[in-house]
Structure 1
Amino acid sequence: METKLNVTGGRALITLLLILMGLGPHSATAFYQETETTGYDTYKGKVVDQNSSRAISSAYLSVDGTNITTVTNSEGDFSLKVPEDIFETTVTVSAMGYAGQKLALSYFKEGNTVIEMQESVEELSEVSIFSATDAKSLVREVLSKRGDNYFTEDTQMKAFYRETIKKGSRNVSLSEAVVEIHKKPYDSWAKDEISLIKSRKSADYERLDTLALKLRGGPFNTLHIDLMKNPQFIFNRDELDNYEFEFDDPARINNKYLYVVDFRELYQGEPWYFGKLFIDAETLTLVKADFNLNVDDRKAAANLFVKKKPGGTKAYPVNVNYEVNYREQNGKWYYGYGRAELEFVINWKRKLFNSRYTVNSEMAVTDWERNPDGKVKRDDSFINERVVMADDASGFNDMAFWGENNIIEPDKSIENAIEKIQQQMRRN
């Protein structure tokens, strides 16, 4: 039995395939061991809160004078790869709510570098730069300035993409890819495209459970939430009357003062959006958005997200969260990081307990260059918006390739889970 997808107005940024899989013999796929290649120095470490030692996730590390960046994972870990001929430079570290830092590259060690960040405690409400008095008018002006504040040339971005699936608290799948994003100008409605450079996956679904949950869209799921390139997914400038906007307490990131605007849809007869916008007070640029889709209406939410499911099951999302961050270069901003997290409940007929799955996909831009003539040679490496990475990834081969690429360090829990999966496969 299938549940057909019914999406209108671009509301569902992510769709899922739920497929019942049968057990059968197949070959195991090994979890990778990172292999370094010549020409690059690798610096690993952790970013933590100075006072509590708590890990700081989604902190940015940017090599000054280059377009090389990386981002910390949920454990605060990072892996920064820098060409050997770059050594006399600094690295900027920034995170929301913390004072930014500039550290000499020589500060980083090839082993484990711990970076402590001091929480920003300035009384921002007294800063004179905050002059806007109407939140909706502020958001309308932000949307009108996307041609002034963001890249207006075709750009080719190298990015690292990761997709993980958990059943309960247990990690069961990991897919990763290095991709090239063919980014169109922010003042254009032309669609961004993605080509696949390398991909790999950690395990075969058939050996993990009778139910295989697959994410359709792959890297596009984290690219579509670029709200300044794709405002039609949430709100266009002419549709803001459908939302309520209110100012929250202001914030600061990397010495920039930010308006914080809470928003929510007024019509709540179907799944509806709510969240926060972080806007640079000086340039009126959206630098971060963190938002959710309310999915209390289970039937409507299932129709948005579930494309196919086995008979005898009910599947629906219980939590849908998105995050997008932008980076600045020479006064212009661009997409730097996107994350989508969905939690699903699967109810089986005649079974007492349900199953919970969490799907997390994230993509971080690690380098970019302008493509002023806009010419792109299309080939078989280009993927479409319906791609299923878990099917198309080739397995953990070509180990040496991955050493050159800035990556989001794998969560320790992921590594442990894959190691256990390998052991189970060897026993079987």
Structure 2
Amino acid sequence: MKTIKKFILSPPLILFLGILTMLPFHRINAQEFVEYKGIVVESGNGNPIAAAFLSVNGTNISTVTNSEGEFSLKIPVNISSATVSISNLGFQSKTYPLSFFNSNNTRIELNETLEELSEVNIFTATDAKTLVRNMFAKAGDNYLNEPVLMNSFYRESIKKGRRNVSLTEAVLKIYKRPYTATGRDEISITKARKSVDYERLDTMALKLRGGPFNTLYSDIIKYPEYLFNVEQMDEYTFNFGSPARINNRYLYVVNFEMVDKRLPWYYGELYIDAQTNALVKANYHLNVDNRTVASNMFVRKKPGGVKVYPVRVEYQVDYRETGGKWYYGYGSAELEFVVNWKRKLFNSRYTVNSEMAVTDWQVNPGDRVRRDDSFISPAVIMTDDVSGFSDEQFWGSNNIIEPEKSIQNAIEKIQKSIQ
């Protein structure tokens, strides 16, 4: 039997409370900018649209909406006549001039895509597995093949039930290798802040091992070994779902799942561009019904007399396109755990969520990365540091994912506690 190890992304790590070495977080000088805020909703019913993509045309500046459809977009003052495009899977894209946006309460309504996509003659693929093979084979043509330096925003939260008990936020630099290169991407921290309410963690702290790398490794095209690659195709079944459309592009939807279900197994959907066979988006899950094996895979250390196992594991990756080339734009990982204490009547449920959005990027002409103490390891556990929560201008000109209401409430409580 083949080992399950090759299928698993960097897993979370549950530890006792302990002393962690502090990483040096550096501030950067903020440039002048204009900030626009608002919400993206469905035109018919007003429901918020999560993970909608907003991009400033003619630049690499972008952001995404949070789960409540809210966004914050910061644009340098020297960009005054640009337009902004808004897109999301299943909706018709829209473009507005900057003059349309307000400092607050900008409302953008997107219409659902109602076209009968099955009738579009561009869909010519007849075998889903062959299409996925072509997706990997054409990676060199479809994705950025030069080193780029990406600015990104990372948020990591841990909830006990519905309450936030740990919150980490960071502005990062990602040193992205060409998609055809074997070298791994590297991450450095520009600035970060974190707070943990240990009193609500039942004397045990959940700590996410890997931090931003958990979301970065969801980049299936760069890191196929964490899900599947060409040599592993026969270990999966593939079939076509209903076609989709995003940003005026027609997409195949390929459903996949592992054949061997004796151990935790992956399943999900791939959204593949019909013209180029580029992967545009992927949603995938790990079935963790086998609690014993799943616990051994994800839990590295725990107190005696307690059982900890995952009950839900989900990943998402979105790619963006510029100049005919695609690149990693957004990744998320969400894991839900059950903690059963011996001699306790009720268990506890914790949700660990991490997401990262690329907000700007530029070609990085240097072949080698000059490392310093701001670089982090793939085994990092983000350190405890509350500095910055009392500073409303902490992020300066950096684009971030707008906090959801529950996270915003947690931030406000942190601000009050340190005033």
Identify the TM-score tier after normalising by the shorter chain. Answer: over 0.9
TM-score (norm 2): 0.93
1:338 deviation in Å? Answer: 0.1
1:62 to 45, 55, 61: 55
Indicate the residue corresponding to 1:379 in structure 2: 372
SS of 1:125's equivalent in the other structure is helix
Stretches of structure 1 lacking an aligned partner (at least 5 in a row): 1-6, 23-35
CA distance in 2, matches of 1:42, 1:159: 17
Higher relative contact order (CA 8 A, sep 6+): 1
TM-score (norm 1): 0.91
Q: Residue by residue, what CA displacement relative to the aligned partner does 1:369-426 show, whole Å, maximum 9, x if unpaired? A: 1113423211111100111114478653765440211100001111223434666x58
Contact map agreement 1:20 1:309 (CA 8 A) in 2 = yes
CA distance in 1, matches of 2:143, 2:76: 28
Which residues of 2 match residues 26-425 of structure 1 at below 5 A? 39-205=32-198, 209-391=202-384, 396=389, 400-420=393-413
Q: Alpha carbon RMSD of aligned pairs, Å?
A: 2.0
2:6 to 2, 7, 10: 10
CA distance in 1, matches of 2:418, 2:37: 31
1:202 deviation in Å? Answer: 3.1
Q: Residue by residue, what CA displacement relative to the aligned partner does 1:164-204 show, whole Å, maximum 9, x if unpaired? A: 11001111121000000000110112111101110101334
Contact map agreement 2:37 2:105 (CA 8 A) in 1 = yes
CA distance in 2, matches of 1:38, 1:420: 29
CA distance in 1, matches of 2:161, 2:391: 31
Query: Number of residues paired by the alignment?
Result: 407
Q: Residue by residue, what CA displacement relative to the aligned partner does 1:126-147 show, whole Å, maximum 9, x if unpaired? A: 0000000000000000010111
Cα 1:369–1:418 shift into 2, 3 Å:
closer
Contact map agreement 2:92 2:112 (CA 8 A) in 1 = yes
Indicate the residue corresponding to 1:29 in structure 2: none
SS of 1:403's equivalent in the other structure is coil
Contact map agreement 2:82 2:98 (CA 8 A) in 1 = yes
Stretches of structure 2 lacking an aligned partner (at least 5 in a row): 19-28
CA distance in 2, matches of 1:181, 1:38: 21
The AA in structure 1 aligned to 2:287 is N
CA distance in 2, matches of 1:426, 1:95: 39
The AA in structure 2 aligned to 1:110 is S
Contact map agreement 1:226 1:324 (CA 8 A) in 2 = yes
SS of 1:87's equivalent in the other structure is coil
The AA in structure 1 aligned to 2:49 is I
Indicate the residue corresponding to 1:31 in structure 2: none
Contact map agreement 1:345 1:355 (CA 8 A) in 2 = yes
CA distance in 1, matches of 2:387, 2:212: 16
The AA in structure 2 aligned to 1:321 is E
CA distance in 1, matches of 2:72, 2:365: 31
Contact map agreement 2:92 2:111 (CA 8 A) in 1 = yes
CA distance in 2, matches of 1:226, 1:326: 9
